[in-house]
Amino acid sequence: MSPPPPNPTARKAPPTLRGTDKRDAIVDAAIDLFVERGFHGTAVPEVADRAGVGAGTIYRYFTSKESLVNEIYQQFKTELTGRVMKGFPVDKPARQMIHHMWTALAEFAKEKPRAYAFLELHHHGSYLDAQSNAIESRIMDMGVRFLQAAQERGEVKPYPPMLLIAIVHGAFIGMLRKCWEGLLELTPETIAAGETCAWEAIRA
């Protein structure tokens, strides 16, 4: 997955940062480096250098690089899930569910493109712990249940729910990738057109 354009604010933090400001600087630096170089291609001293802190400072907040990547993953995955679930139309037709989900994902991706790229690049990582994997499993289980209910109502194709999830999710990621590559602009019109195409692919 192509990463979004570099974050222009991802520079060394001022040396006077303290407390939670230092933690935030570490998280911001780690997200950028994990997106640019991957988990295995990123070293803790590189995170410290970009955050403008000493390498030892990172270990005051995170016990290891694995702890760092998991806490970031859980933080933003939980935030994204909360956005999707807020006002989710559980008793409405599947078309409205798809619209709600697509809109929530697009808003998050526009506001926090690096965080969204981080989540997509790392959601299958072998270094994710049980808590991180549990968040992903709960989201998938929820999606399967909603699609199964929609299938019973005859609203979406009678294919395995995980296949339908893959089709919709793949369409969204493909749209974002082309925007990040500069081949599309992430406008309301583009977002709406992508949503329509995704829905047409799974509707009954």
- Eight-class DSSP state of 202: H
- 99 class by beta-carbon count within 10 Å (0-12 exposed, 13-18 middle, 19+ buried): middle
3-state secondary structure (DSSP) of residue 28: helix
**Are residues 156 and 96 in contact, defined by beta-carbon separation less than 8 angstroms?**
no
What tens digit of pLDDT does each residue of 111-148 get? 999 999 999 988 888 899 999 999 999 999 999 999 99
* Pairwise CA distance, residues 12 & 100, whole Å: 37
**Among 49-53, 194-198, 199-203, whose mean pLDDT is lowest?**
49-53
- Which pLDDT band, with edges at 50, 70 and 90, does 16 fall under? very low
Domains and CATH numbers, the chain: 19-65 (1.10.10.60), 67-202 (1.10.357.10)
How far apart, in Å, are the Cα atoms of 94 and each of 113, 116, 183, 186? Answer: 27, 24, 30, 24
* Pairwise CA distance, residues 105 & 118, whole Å: 14
What tens digit of pLDDT does each residue of 160-187 get? 999 999 999 999 999 999 999 999 999 9
Nearest to 190 by CA among 73, 91, 109, 76: 109
Whole-number average pLDDT of the chain: 90
pTM of the model: 0.86
- Which pLDDT band, with edges at 50, 70 and 90, does 7 fall under? low
**Beta-bridge partners for 59:** none
Residue 3 has pLDDT above 70, yes or no: no
- 202 class by beta-carbon count within 10 Å (0-12 exposed, 13-18 middle, 19+ buried): buried
pLDDT of the residue at 134? 93
**Alpha-helical segments (H) within the chain:** 19-37, 44-51, 55-61, 65-85, 94-111, 113-122, 130-152, 161-180, 188-202
* Pairwise CA distance, residues 148 & 145, whole Å: 5
